[in-house]
Amino acid sequence: MNNFEKQLNNLPRARLSRRADLLIRYKLMCAGLKQYFSGVSFNFFAMAGLRPVLAAVVILVLVFSGATSAYAYNSSQITRASALYPVKRGLEKIESRFATTPAAQVKFHNKLAGRRIAEAQFLSLGSAAFTADQTASSTGEALPVKLEYENEFNDTLRDADDEIERANERAREIGDRTELDRSLALLSDAHLNELGKIKAMAEAVGIEADDRTTDNIALILENIKGRQQRIVRAISQFDGDLKRAGENEDDEDGASASSSEKNIAKGQSASTTPDEAASSLDRVRNEIKVLESELSQGGRISNKQIKRLTERLNKKINQAETAIQAGDLSKFNGLLRATEALTNNGQHFLKENNKEEKQIKGLPLNNFGDKVKAQYNLKEIQAKLEEQRKKQAEKLREELKKAAEQNQENGTIKIDDRTATSSVNVLSDQKNNSSADQTASSSVDN
Partner 1 sequence: MAQQKQNFTDYYNQYKDKIFNYFWYRVNFNRALAEDLTADAFLKAFKSFNGFDHNRSFQSWMYAIAKNHLLNYYRTANRETDLLEVEKMGVNELAKIENRLELEQAFELINQLSEYHREVLLMRFSDGLDNREIAEILNKDEGAVRTQISRALEELRGQAHNA
Residue 12 CB, nearest approach to partner 1 (Å): 7
| DSSP helix/strand/coil, 361 | helix
Radius of gyration from C-alpha coordinates of the chain: 30
Q: Which residue number, 36 or 42, has a Cβ lying nearer to partner 1?
A: 36
Give the DSSP per-residue string, 18-60. Answer: HHHHHHHHHHHHHHHHHHHHTTSSS-GGG-GGGHHHHHHHHHH
Q: Which residue number, 26 or 44, has a Cβ lying nearer to partner 1?
A: 26
Contact 185, 228 (CB under 8 A): no
13 touching partner 1, by CB under 8 A: yes
Residue 27 CB, nearest approach to partner 1 (Å): 6
40 touching partner 1, by CB under 8 A: no
Q: Which residue number, 1 or 40, has a Cβ lying nearer to partner 1?
A: 1
Contact 323, 331 (CB under 8 A): yes
Cα angle vertex 398, ends 396, 403, to 5°? Answer: 95
16 touching partner 1, by CB under 8 A: yes
Which among 266, 274, 267 has a CA at the least distance from the CA of 333?
274
20 touching partner 1, by CB under 8 A: yes
Give dist(CA 409, CA 193) in Å, integer. Answer: 27
365 touching partner 1, by CB under 8 A: no
Polymer length in residues for the chain:
446
Considering only the stretches 12-20, 70-78, 387-395, 418-426, report the one whose residues sit in contact with partner 1 under the rule CB under 8 A: 12-20
Binding marks (x or -) toward partner 1, 214..243, rule CB under 8 A?
------------------------------
| DSSP helix/strand/coil, 352 | strand
Give φ, ψ of 78 to 5 degrees: -85, 105
9 touching partner 1, by CB under 8 A: yes
55 touching partner 1, by CB under 8 A: no
46 touching partner 1, by CB under 8 A: no
Q: Identify the residue among 11, 40, 48, 83 touching partner 1 (CB under 8 A).
A: 11
Residue 441 CB, nearest approach to partner 1 (Å): 52
Tell me the site size for partner 1, rule CB under 8 A.
Answer: 27
31 touching partner 1, by CB under 8 A: yes
61 touching partner 1, by CB under 8 A: no
28 touching partner 1, by CB under 8 A: yes
Give dist(CA 422, CA 435) in Å, integer. Answer: 20
Contact 152, 231 (CB under 8 A): no
Contact 270, 333 (CB under 8 A): yes
93 touching partner 1, by CB under 8 A: no
Q: Which residue number, 3 or 100, has a Cβ lying nearer to partner 1?
A: 3
47 touching partner 1, by CB under 8 A: no
Give dist(CA 384, CA 390) in Å, integer. Answer: 10
Give dist(CA 396, CA 399) in Å, integer. Answer: 5
Residues near partner 1 (CB under 8 A): 1-5, 7-17, 20-21, 23-25, 27-28, 31-32, 35-36
